Structure 1
Amino acid sequence: MTDLVKLTVENSIAVLTLNRPQVRNAIDDAMRGELMAALDRAANDDAVRALVLTGEGKAFCSGGDISGMKQRLQAAPGQVAFNGWRRQRRTHQSVAALHGLPKPTIAAVNGAATGLGCDMALACDFIVASDAASFSMSFIRRGLVSDGGGLYFLPRRVGLPRAKELIFSGRTVEAQEALTIGLADRVSPADRLVQEACAWAHDLSRGSAAALALSKAILDRTFETPEEQLFALGREAQAICYTTAEHQDAVAAFLDKTAR
C-alpha cells in the first residue's frame, strides 16, 4: 500500500485524508482501493468512534481522474460498457462503505468538492465546509450523470427542485450558499477546519457505540421504509441495546445516583 490516502487516529477520531494533491485529490482505481481498505479499518477498529474525511492541499476532491476516463475510452468498443460497469461497481462499493460506516462521519471540505468529490462529501452524515470550500455537481459538463450517490443523497439534503437545478446546471456553490441551502451544515475558518470537525465528531460519538450504529442504520433508510417496517427495525435494535454493557452500566449508574 502507498500513501494515496492517510488514516490517523487521535482521541478516538479517525481522520482520513485523500492524498493526491498534485491532481487535486482526483480518485483513480489505486486510490479507490486504498480508500476502501482505510474505511474497513476504521469501521472495525473499536478505538475509532467517528471519522472525518478531508483532502490534502487546496482541494477536497476534484472527482474521478480525467486521465483514467481518457484511457477507458480507448478500449475496444465492445469492452467500454462492461469495463465501465465493473468500475462503477467499485465506485459504488467505496461510497457505500463510507455512507454505511457504523459510526458518525463528517466531511471536512477544505476546498473544491467536484463531481465524485461532491458525491463523497454528500455520502457523509454531516458536512463542514471551510470558508474556501466550493461544491459542484459537474458531471453534466463531461456528458455524464452523478455516479457516486449524488442522485440519491443530494435531494435528501436540499430538496428535489434544488437538486435538479444543481445537477442540471453543474454550477459551483460557494461555502456560504452551501450553508444557506443545506448543502453544508457548518462553515469553519480554513485554518481550523479539521480541528473543528474533529471536535464536533467527538461530541457526536460520546454515546453508546451500539446505539449510534443501530440508529444510523435505521435513519439512513427512513425515507424508503414503510412506517411499520421502521418500527420493527426499531424494536429489533432496542432488543440488541438491552443486552449491551453500555445500557446496563447507564441504568445502574442512574439508579445508584437516584438512590442516594
Structure 2
Amino acid sequence: MTIANHSAEFVLVTEKNGIATITLNRPDMRNAINDQMRAELIAAFDTAGADKAVRGIILTGAGKGFCSGGDIGGMRARLEAPAGEVAFNGWRRQQSTHKGIAAIHGVAKPVIAAVNGAAFGLGLDMALACDFIIASENAKLSMSFIKRGLVSDGGGMYFLPRRVGLAKAKELILTGCILEAEEAFGIGMVDRVTSSSMLLEDAQAWAEELCVGSPAAIALTKAILDKTFESTDEQIFALGREAQAICYTTAEHRSSVEDFLSKAAK
C-alpha cells in the first residue's frame, strides 16, 4: 500500500514534495477519536513510516478543529458495560490508545502537528506526541481530562513536562484551563504560531526544511534525542557511537564526502 491510495473514511492522506499530510476527518464531530479513526491513524502512520518516498509527516484536522479528544459516544458505551467488565475493557482500550500514540511518536521521520483549531484532551496529547507543533492564531489547547474525571492517557503526562516544565505541566493538567495559541507559544507548548490561511503552507515549508538531510541520520538522531531525558550522558554517547557507525556506511555520507573532496581538489 502506498501513500497515494491510503486514505480511509476518517483519516485522509496526501503527499507533496515528500511530505505526507495525515488529516483527521470527522469534522462534524470536531475530529473526535473513535475506534475506527484510531485504527486508520495507526495504519496511516505505519504506511508513511515505511514509504521511502515520504521524508516527513504533517498531522492536522479537517474543518475548524484539530481534535476534540476521545469520542463521547465511546465513553458512554464504556460506562454501560457490565460492572465486572469495565476495568478490563478499559485496559484493552488503553492499549489501543497507546499504540496510536506510539505510532505518532515513534515514526522515524520528523512529524509536525499543524493545529488548526481546538486541540483538547487526547487531541492535545496527540499533538504533543509529534516532534513539533505549529498552531494557527485561533487554535485553543487544553488538557481537559480533569473535567471528565480522567487523567491524561495519551502521553501528555510524559510529553508536556518536557515542553513546559514540571510545575507548569501540573498546573495545566490539574486545571484543564484553555490556552490561546499565543499563550501556548509563550510557555513553549507550541513551537510556532501562524495565520489560519498559512498554517498548512507554513507547516509544509517547515517539514521540507527539516527533511533535507540523510534519512538515516535524521531517524537515528530523532531516536537518540527522544531518550535524552531518561538516559545518562554515557548512554547517549554510546547510542551516538552506534548511530555514527551506521551513518558511515550510508550512500548519503559517501556522496557528501566525495563531493567535498572533489570540490576541494579543484
TM-score, normalised via structure 1 length = 0.99
1:215 Cα offset (Å)? 0.2
User: For 1:221 and 1:128, how far apart are their aligned partners in 2?
Assistant: 23
Query: Aligned pair 1:43/2:38, yes or no?
Result: no
* Unpaired stretches in structure 2, ≥5 consecutive residues: 1-6
Q: Among residues 146, 168, 175, which one is paired with 1:169 in the alignment?
A: 175
Instruction: Indicate the residue corresponding to 2:260 in structure 1.
Output: 254
Which residue of structure 2 lines up, in the alignment, with residue 189 of structure 1? 195
Equivalent in the alignment of 1:141: 147
What pairs with 1:86-235 in structure 2 (closer than 5 Å)?
86-235=92-241
- The aligned counterpart of 2:33 is 27
- Provide the C-alpha distance between the structure 1 equivalents of 2:78 and 2:223, rounded to a whole number of angstroms: 35
Instruction: Give yes or no for the alignment of 1:63 onto 2:77.
Output: no
Aligned to 2:258, the other structure's residue is in SS state: helix
Counterpart-to-counterpart distance in 2, 1:109 and 1:99: 16
- Note the C-alpha offset of 1:164: 0.5
Q: In 1, distance between residues paired with 2:254 and 2:140?
A: 45
- Does 1:241 find its partner at 2:244? no
- Write the distance in 1 (CA, Å) between the matches of 2:139 and 2:261: 48
Query: Secondary structure of the equivalent of 1:64?
Result: coil
Q: Where does 1:2-17 land on structure 2 (aligned, <5 Å)?
A: 2-17=8-23
Distance in 1 between residues matched to 2:8 and 2:214, nearest whole Å: 34
d(CA) in 2 for partners of 1:20 and 1:174?
23
Q: What is the CA-CA distance between 1:2 and the residue it aligns to?
A: 3.7
In structure 2, how many angstroms separate the alpha carbons of the residues matched to 1:68 and 1:3? 18
- SS of the residue 1:54 aligns to: strand
Deviation string for 1:199-241 (max 9, x for gaps)?
Answer: 0000000000000000000000000011111111111000000
Distance in 2, Cα, partners of 1:225 & 1:203? 28
Amino acid in the other structure paired with 1:15: T
Q: Secondary structure at the match of 1:184?
A: coil
Letter in 2 for 1:247: H
Q: How many residues align?
A: 260
Structure 2: how far apart are the matches of 1:26 and 1:114? 10
The CA RMSD measured in Å over matched residues stands at 0.7
Cα displacement (A) at 1:166 = 0.3
Query: What are the superposed Cα offsets for residues 174-203 of structure 1, whole Å, 9 maximum, x if unpaired?
Result: 001011100111001001101100100000
SS in 1 for 2:119: strand
% same residue: 64
Amino acid corresponding to residue 204 of structure 2 in structure 1: C
The letter of the residue matching 1:70 is R
Following TM superposition, the consecutive aligned residue runs of length 4 or more in structure 1 with deviations greater than 4 angstroms are none
Deviations 1:21-48 (A, max 9, x none): 0100000000000000000010000000
